[in-house]
Amino acid sequence: MPIYTKLFRAPYAVPNGLQATTDGLWLVDQITDRVMLVELDGELDYYGVPKMIREIPSESSNTSGMAWGEGSLWLAANGSAGQWRSPRATDAAKAKGEILQVDPATGETIARYPLPGGGGTHGIEYDTIEPGHLWLTTLKNQTLTKMRISDWSAQHVIPLPYQRAHGVVRVQDGVWVVHTGDRVIVKLDARDGAELARITVPESEPEPHGLCAYSRDVVGFLYCDASSGWVVEIRQG
């Protein structure tokens, strides 16, 4: 049975993407679209917030998802940010998501890619099993799409079983996807989308949004709750 541990509250009010790396934990704020690298296993401050290593701006908008791969951050710009803040010239258009490849040292945009089919996205994952690819939640079509980065072409599409798909984690035998409204994290077969396993997050725990793999003494996950700000560890009991 999964064991849930509230690790800390994110430095941002609305954390909607996270990614654990060897340097620490990256978090992105959906409101300001700023990105912060924090110590993952260090001491917390008086307010229960981890120490910041560095913070960078981004040209993303309404950011809902983050990945790490090929030495870059990948941000899922879920369309316009007008409901959160004043528009910027670099914001994605309303109802037209984009994927931004971002320099982790400066926040500079290296490349921008349109979301296939348009619409919004709440989750992104770099494929470490088949490098050179990204998995995206393509919500307009209720699908998960595998994109080849080199020519930005769709390589595979599988259906999503529930609404409000958020964080995505690629593993050897499938793809884990958060479905926030149903409070489930479902492992899908990467070939046809068949359900292989699931984790049901109880109502007593923060709501799952962003998701990343995380390993200490056992393999598990971290997720962030864009409503409460909590970062939570899930470990198999």
Instruction: Give per-residue pLDDT as tens, 80-109.
Output: 998 888 999 999 998 899 999 999 999 999
Looking up tokens 């479905």 gives 179
Q: 125 is in which domain, residue-wise?
A: 2-236
The reported pLDDT for the residue numbered 41 is 83
The reported pLDDT for the residue numbered 84 is 85
Contacts of 178 (CB under 8 A, 6+ apart): 123, 165, 166, 167, 168, 184, 185, 208, 209, 210, 211, 223
Residue 130 DSSP label:
S
The chain-wide mean pLDDT, for the chain, equals 94
The reported pLDDT for the residue numbered 219 is 58
Q: Which is more confident, 233 or 218?
A: 233
Contacts of 84 (CB under 8 A, 6+ apart): 30, 31, 62
Instruction: Give per-residue pLDDT as tens, 7-45.
Output: 999 999 999 999 999 999 999 999 999 999 999 988 888
pTM confidence score: 0.95
pLDDT band at 215 (very low <50, low <70, confident <90, very high): confident
Instruction: Give per-residue pLDDT as tens, 186-209.
Output: 999 999 999 999 999 999 999 999
Percent of the chain with pLDDT over 90: 86
Name the domain count of the chain: 1
Q: CATH code at 35?
A: 2.120.10.30
